[in-house]
Amino acid sequence: MIITTTDSVEDKRITAYLGIVCGDAVMGTNIFRDMMASVRDIVGGRSGAYETVLRQAKEAALADMQAQAAQLGADAVVAVDLDYDTVAGDGKTMLIVSANGTAVKLG
């Protein structure tokens, strides 16, 4: 299945719009990742631990969105938008990724 952030697929014609599809992933970080991120915040540099969790959340959200599109019989999902957020409190951090797009049939 084609997944794209553009509103069309090159050299393909959209023959039907099947609806909006979405996928969400909420991933918890653990105390060790939070501690390492705190150190990175002080000394600078990238936080590989958070990047790994964020990448996993993005892949899970996209997979859920694609599965929803497949259930509708879609050939592609266009106009995909990824949104990122965090929820933190009580010493815990949750990373949230939402993927939204339009499921379409191609001709």
pLDDT tens-place values along the chain, 107 residues long: 999 999 999 999 999 999 999 999 998 865 445 555 554 455 555 666 678 888 999 999 999 999 999 999 999 999 999 999 988 777 677 889 999 999 999 99
Q: Which amino acid is located at 82 in the chain?
A: L
72, containing H or E segment: none
Within 13 Å of residue 98, how many CA atoms lie on the same side as its CB?
A: 8
Strand 76-89 versus strand 2-3 pairing type: parallel
Tell me the pTM.
0.81
Burial class (CB in 10 A: 0-12, 13-18, 19+), 49: middle
E strands in the chain: 2-3, 14-28, 76-89, 92-106
